[in-house]
Chains A and B, each alone.
Chain A
Amino acid sequence: MTDMMLDIKNLQVSIPTDRGTLNAVRGVDLSISAGKTLCLVGESGCGKSLTATAIIGLLPRYAKVTTERFAMAGQDLTARTEARLAKMRGRDVAMIFQDPTSTLNPTLTIGRQLTEGVMRAERLSRKEADARAIEMLDRVGIANPAARLVQYPHGFSGGQRQRIMIASALMGRPKLLIADEPTTALDVTIQAQILALLDELQSDLGLSLLLITHDLGVVASIADEVAVMYAGRIAERAPVKDLFRAPQHPYTRGLLAAIPVPGQTPRGSELPAIPGRVPGLVGPLKGCAFRDRCSFAGEICGQDPVPGHAPAPGRFVECHKAAEVAA
């Protein structure tokens, strides 16, 4: 499996809290082939950002991370050393964080923040680094990029800051880009521009993409594969067309049903939201985490382990009643 850009088995992340250990990520398998896009979707708080941050090795020290297998950009990181991950960051793998306001330093100019990393890592001169920064800012649609290198973050709107974050992540020409809600703060025309840019980078540079989003329109337009996460586990994974055409996990079905579709959903009608809420993840959990909210649930759903099925090549679904749901 040499063409795997990312290959993770049984990722677990737990965080100590004052009420006990929070088992936020409870055994996640993810893989992305070179040049492909995997979208990660799921309930707010289900562990998407923690998963992404664990991959890039930037979780706070008190978080406990374990994996059974972890390979990225051709390197085996199962016995992950923070030092090796730190070396890969920016060059092999880069991340765009969910909240751009907290990741841009307000006291440094945009130019400094964009160029610092590559000047160190690739020994570029100031001139070369500036030229690349200008190219990247131009690519993400920032007007008059040369003049803006000397500006500080507060001089840009939320959407512009988001685009600067994207430019910054691209500076080291990474092979794997992890993007956490990169277009949520943007209007749809800029969103379309960013998605087209990512698409172009994929064909130009063979970039692999792990994209986290709540927007199923974004998923439909850019994903090759989709992983649906619920309460710290992958509930379903499928090629994008299969997932939208025939979702096989009850949670995925609930998600797809909840979106208002112009021209189909009657205006002002009540939307079919999934009732209930996610179970707490402090302490052990028995059986399927979705069962309190699931219309298919039966007695068996309280049992461990919840079986994983492969209903078709490239598909995976974890559900006691997978056969019944698919029928």
Chain B
Amino acid sequence: MTRSQTPPMIRMTGIRKAYRLHRKLFAPVEELVAVNDLSLEVAAGETVGLVGESGCGKSTAVSIMLGLLKPDRGEVEIAGRKIGALSVDERVRLIQPVFQNPNASLNPVKRIASLIGQPLHLHGGENVKAEVARMLDLVGLPARLADAYPGELSGGQRQRVAIARALILKPRVLICDEPTSALDVSVQAQIINLLLSLKSEFGLTMVFVSHNLAVVEHLADRVAVMYLGQKVEEAPTDALFDGAQHPYTKALLAATLLPDPETGMPEQLIGAAPADPFATYAGCRFAPRCREVQESCHTTEQTLRRLGASSVRCTIAGQKGRVGAAEPKPSGCS
């Protein structure tokens, strides 16, 4: 590969992943398409936020990115190399995860130093002790905690241990799946500050999955929005938060709660009928719940297209004289 065309750090193309399951005892096997035709590129040093409804396929996509789950279709390349062609050793040195629940991923009977050092140990690193000390310092944990057990640490400290463990192999990519949602806001701020400094000091590439849009807005350079297994919008962070194009993105932003008791209950710009991952759709998957739906939406297969700085999976987006979704609704707060 020539230098002039550095490949993106992560490139996912046309990923599809279905889970096969029995919905009822003795019923035939059905497919639940968790991720459908997902393409995503993340440049070196970039942070991409991944947001969307619970159950829309974010964790599935992330597992595929990490090489932990095999897609039915599509390619994943990390730093220009197909993920299947990487050895486990090469893979874990390139890309590492941080998951939501640090308690579940930290063995309670192991000491902190051995937990952090374990990946290095497993993958034949040297100077484990010195490296562990360096990691403790990097994530802002006092050296005396090296001998502690996970149970003696606070939630935020445990999440720092999980990050230290992910970083000890000096990966170039960190994949964070809801890394702060179990933490209080002050600890959340500590973790965000840590991620920001890793990004600026080491040029770490990050994918950040979260339901907290304020955090995503704070951290991400670009944001991808998913709905029922598909990417429905992708845009630079500013463009997305200042001018969302897809009706689902708009509903998501409108539902965000501000820490201000004067604003009351949020506006609901989305039909109450829940998303059904088993249903098949001829047209737009969001149509049954969309406030701006038109007849053609139910029948026209939607594809991603460019609209300003964004890429949007909706033919209605950007049309003039659309049914206003922005008109204020009396809020239902007492």
Tell me whether B332 is interfacial, beta carbon within 8 Å: yes
How far is it, in angstroms, between the C-alpha of A195 and the C-alpha of B275 when the chains are bound?
19
Q: Which of B182, B186, B251, B259 contacts A244 (CB 8 A)?
A: B259
Determine whether the beta carbon of B218 is less than 8 Å from that of A270.
Answer: no
For A47, what are the chain B residues with a Cβ–Cβ distance below 8 Å? Answer: none
B266-295 interface mask toward A, CB cutoff 8 Å, 1 = contact, 0 = none? Answer: 101010111110000000000000000000
Question: Residue of A at shortest CB range from B197?
Answer: A270
A278 and B157 alpha carbons, distance in the complex (Å): 11
**CB of A15, distance to nearest CB on chain B (Å):** 12
Asked if B189 contacts A273 (CB within 8 A), the reply is yes
CB contacts (< 8 Å) of B192 on chain A: these are 260, 271
Q: Is A158 an interface residue (CB 8 A)?
A: yes
Does B187 interact with chain A (Cβ within 8 Å)? yes
Q: How far is the CA of A83 from the CA of B217 in the complex (A)?
A: 50
CB-CB under 8 A from A222, the residues of chain B are 265
A102-161 CB contacts (< 8 Å) to partner B: 141-144, 150-151, 155, 157-160
Bound complex: CA of A184 vs CA of B181, how far in Å?
Answer: 7
8 A Cβ contacts from A137-190 to B: 141-144, 150-151, 155, 157-160, 184-190
Question: Please, which residues of chain B bring their CB within 8 A of the CB of A42?
Answer: 184
Chain A residues with CB under 8 Å of B272's CB are: 141, 193
Given known contacts A199-B265, A214-B184, A273-B193, A188 and B155 CB-to-CB distance under 8 angstroms:
no
- Chain A residue nearest to B47 (CB atoms) is A268
Whose C-beta in chain A lies nearest to the C-beta of B289?
A: A189
* CB-nearest residue of chain B to A158: B54
The answer to the question of B252 belonging to the interface, with a C-beta cut-off of 8 Å to chain A, is: yes
Contact B218–A265 (Cβ < 8 Å): yes
Contact check, B53 vs A189: say whether CB atoms are below 8 A apart. Answer: yes
- Of B55, B261, B265, the contact of A157 (CB 8 Å cutoff): B55
Q: Nearest-CB distance from B125 to chain A (Å)?
A: 29
A267 within 8 A of B: yes
Chain B positions within 8 Å of A191 at CB level: 211, 255, 257
Residues on B with C-beta less than 8 A from A268 are 196, 218-219
B264 contact set on A, CB distance < 8 A: 221
Q: State how many angstroms separate the Cβ of B101 from the closest Cβ of chain A.
A: 9
* Stretch among A53-61, A250-258, A294-302, A314-322 lining the B interface: A250-258
Contact status B53-A221, CB under 8 Å: no
B183 at the interface (CB under 8 A from A): yes
Interface presence of B156 (CB below 8 A): yes
Q: Give A150 to B211 CA distance when docked, in angstroms.
A: 30
A141-B274, A258-B188, A271-B193 given; A189·B333 CB < 8 A = no
Residue of A nearest to B213 (CB): A188
Contact A159:B186 (CB < 8 A) given known A44-B155, A193-B272, A260-B217: no
Q: A157-B54, A218-B257, A244-B261 are in contact. Are A199 and B333 (CB under 8 A)?
A: yes
Q: For residue B217, which residues in chain A have a CB less than 8 angstroms away from its CB?
A: 260, 262, 267
CB distance from B157 to the nearest CB of A (A): 7
Q: Which of B23, B189, B241, B256 has the most CB of A within 10 A?
A: B189
A254 and B252 within 8 A (CB): no
In the complex, A271→B185 CA distance in Å?
A: 10
Q: Is B21 an interface residue (CB 8 A)?
A: yes
A305 at the interface (CB under 8 A from B): no
Q: B185 touching A255 by the CB < 8 A rule? A: yes
Looking at the assembled complex, report how far the CB atom of B177 sits from the nearest CB atom of chain A, in whole angstroms: 11
State in angstroms the CA–CA spacing of A270 and B183 once bound together.
18
Q: Given A157-B54, A261-B258, decide whether A44 and B196 contact each other with a Cβ distance below 8 A.
A: no
Q: How far is the CA of A259 from the CA of B217 in the complex (A)?
A: 12
B250 to chain A, nearest CB (A): 11
Q: Output the least CB separation between A144 and chain B (Å).
A: 7
Distance in angstroms from A142 CB to nearest chain B CB is 6
Q: How far is the CA of A44 from the CA of B273 in the complex (A)?
A: 34
B302 interfacial contact with A, CB 8 Å:
no
Whether A188 lies near B259 (C-beta < 8 A) is no
How far does the alpha carbon of A155 sit from the alpha carbon of B260 in the complex, in Å? 37
CB-nearest residue of chain B relative to A144? B276
Minimum C-beta distance from B280 to chain A (A): 14
Contact flag A188-B186 (CB < 8 Å), given A195-B265, A267-B217: no
Per the bound structure, the CA–CA distance linking A220 and B261 in Å amounts to 4
Contact of B268 among A196, A216, A255, A272 (CB under 8 A): A196
**What 0/1 pattern do residues 115 to 130 of B give for CB contact below 8 A with A?**
0000000000000000
A200 CB to nearest chain B CB (Å):
8
Instruction: Name the residue on A nearest B264 (C-beta).
Output: A221
Residues of B within 8 Å of A311, CB to CB, are none
**Is the CB of A43 closer than 8 A to any CB of chain B?**
yes
Whether B196 contacts A270 by the Cβ 8 Å rule is yes
- Check B259–A220 contact: CB distance below 8 A: yes
**A8 to chain B: which residues have CB within 8 Å?**
none
A192 at the interface (CB under 8 A from B): yes
Give chain B nearest CB distance to A243 CB in angstroms.
8
Q: List A contacts of B51 (CB < 8 A).
A: 187
15 contacts between A and B (CB under 8 A): A42-B184, A44-B154, A155-B23, A158-B54, A187-B52, A188-B257, A190-B53, A192-B265, A214-B184, A220-B260, A220-B263, A258-B188, A259-B214, A274-B186, A280-B152
Closest A-B pairs by Cβ, 4 of them: A159-B54, A217-B257, A157-B55, A44-B155
